[in-house]
Amino acid sequence: MIESGESLAEMLAHAWHILPVALAFAMPVVAVGALVLYLLRRGSLASTLTVLVLIPIVATLTGVLGVSGFMFSTALTTMLLVCLLVAMVTVPAAVVLGRVIARRSVWEREARDRERAAEASRRELVAWISHDLRSPLSGIRAMAEALADGVVGEPDEVAKYAQRINVEATRLTGMVDDLFELSRITAGALRLELTAVPLGDVVSDALSAQRPVARRNRVKVRASAQAWPVVAGSDPELARIVRNLVSNAIRHTPPDGTVAVDIGIDGQEALLAVDDACGGIPEDELGRVFDVAFRGSQARTPETGRTTGGGGLGLAIVKGLVEAHRGRVEVHNHGQGCRFEVRLPLAAR
């Protein structure tokens, strides 16, 4: 026991003497590694982890070589081989781990960004809908109270009030329908039964429904067809796409302006184009046109005194329905206004 204790004491004393030498050789390696890590602070996570793994291995090797005076004995050679084997295992593992962590970090960051964007969109939607619901509800309440209090007694005036109540109730119904449809799209609950649908028939029916609105707003609606495509789609949802686009175009076209609807075939896709005369959309807003509750700036034609729209959901619904049909929708400035282009897959023959 005494000899064992003396041997341990001698080993500790020897280690205490060689420690400064080992640190003298190892610390420059650590300093260089720290500098490399600083330079890689904006680099990939895999590179950073690789350097972190190599720093202690290289520092250990340098310290051992310095203490041994670079005299390659059997023990030293064995230790170097062990360190080399460790490096061959740990460095690839660090690269793989770094890439996995990097992908996860990017995914989490994107998920947080999407969540923040969705939350901001929800808040904006609630603000818009609250404002738009309050207006027709206030009008309905005021007119109903006037009728109940007998303020309006003449039959013509009563009929006029009833008609205005009906108009406001129709607006509210449309907004509720839009909210329901958008909730189905965003929740992934939209299930389409795809059949072969002639796009020309869908456009014709939608334009027939929108022409009374166009006449009230003194807007001309023109339709033309370069071809008669048949698409793989769901008739009600396709009708809603066309109806929303045409309604939006009429709403933003000034009196005596023209809304043009064209259909055709482009390659393996059916093309639906809706042109309005809104005066154009600012370039910095084009990317937000299909966002929920986005209505744009005052650069577009004002709607004062005209048939107003819903809660800014129409184009968001269009985008969701088009994508549910495996199609795509785009918008760009064109002529005196802007053009919305919808591309849908053709039905299989």
Q: Beginning with the edge strand found earlier in the chain, give each strand of the sheet holding 328-334 in spatial order.
A: 220-225, 258-266, 269-275, 337-345, 328-334
Question: Do residues 269 and 137 share a domain?
Answer: no
- Return the CATH number at 141: 1.10.287.130
Identify the H or E element spanning 265: strand 258-266
Dist. CA 224–CA 168, nearest whole Å: 33
Looking at the structure, tell me whether residues 200 and 334 fall in a common domain. Answer: yes
Are residues 280 and 337 in contact, defined by beta-carbon separation less than 8 angstroms?
Answer: yes
pLDDT score at 198: 94
- Check residues 7 and 304 and name the one with the higher pLDDT: 7
Using the predicted structure, report yes or no on whether residue 308 has a pLDDT greater than 50.
Answer: no
Give yes or no: residues 319 and 341 share one domain: yes
Residues 171 and 199 in one domain: no
The reply to whether 222 and 245 lie within a common domain is yes
The total of structural domains in the chain comes to 3
3-state secondary structure of 322: helix
Mark 308-324 as b/e (b = at least 16 C-beta within 10 Å).
Answer: ebbbbbbbbbbbbbbeb
335 and 239 in a common domain: yes
- CA nearest neighbour of 131 among 175, 184, 180: 175
Other CB atoms within 10 A of residue 187 CB: 8
The three-class DSSP label of residue 202 is helix
Task: Provide the residue type at 15 as one letter.
Answer: A
**Average pLDDT of the residues in 155-172:** 84
pTM of the model: 0.59
Distance (Å, whole) CA 19 – CA 74 = 22
Same structural domain, 145 and 29:
no
Average pLDDT over residues 170-192: 78
- Does residue 114 sit within a domain? no
- Same domain? 144 vs 200: no
More confident residue, 69 or 331: 331
Q: What is the structure's pLDDT at 341? A: 95
Q: In this predicted model, what pLDDT tens digit does every residue of 51-88 receive, in sequence order?
A: 777 777 777 777 777 777 766 677 767 777 777 777 77
Provide the CATH number for the domain around residue 323: 3.30.565.10
Domain boundary among 58, 79, 108: 108
Indicate whether 219 belongs to any domain: yes
DSSP letter (8 states) at residue 346: B
Q: Domain boundary residue among 74, 108, 142?
A: 108
124 shares a domain with 96? no
- Does 319 share its domain with 284? yes
3-class secondary-structure state, position 313: coil
Do 199 and 341 lie in one domain? The reply is: yes
User: C-alpha distances in angstroms, 54 versus 34, 138, 173, 199?
Assistant: 11, 71, 67, 64
First to last CA, the chain: 95
> Residue 304 domain-assigned?
yes
Could you read off the pLDDT of 100-120 as tens digits, one per residue? 777 777 777 877 887 787 777
The residue that leads in pLDDT, 106 or 223, is 223
**170 within a domain of the structure (yes/no):** yes
Of the residues 88, 108, 128, the one at which a domain ends: 108
Distance CA 319, CA 33 (A): 51
Q: By residue range, what is the domain housing residue 228? A: 195-345
pLDDT top residue among 243 and 155: 243
Indicate whether 133 and 208 sit together in one domain: no
Most confident option among 74-78, 166-170, 308-312:
166-170
Q: How many angstroms separate the CA atoms of 308 and 151, rounded? A: 28
Segment 117-154, tens digit of pLDDT: 777 766 766 776 776 777 778 888 888 888 888 877 77
Q: Which residue has the tokens 């619904």?
A: 317
For the cut 80, the answer to whether the pLDDT of residue 304 exceeds it is no
Distances from the Cα of 337 to the Cα of 116, 276, 279, angstroms: 32, 5, 4
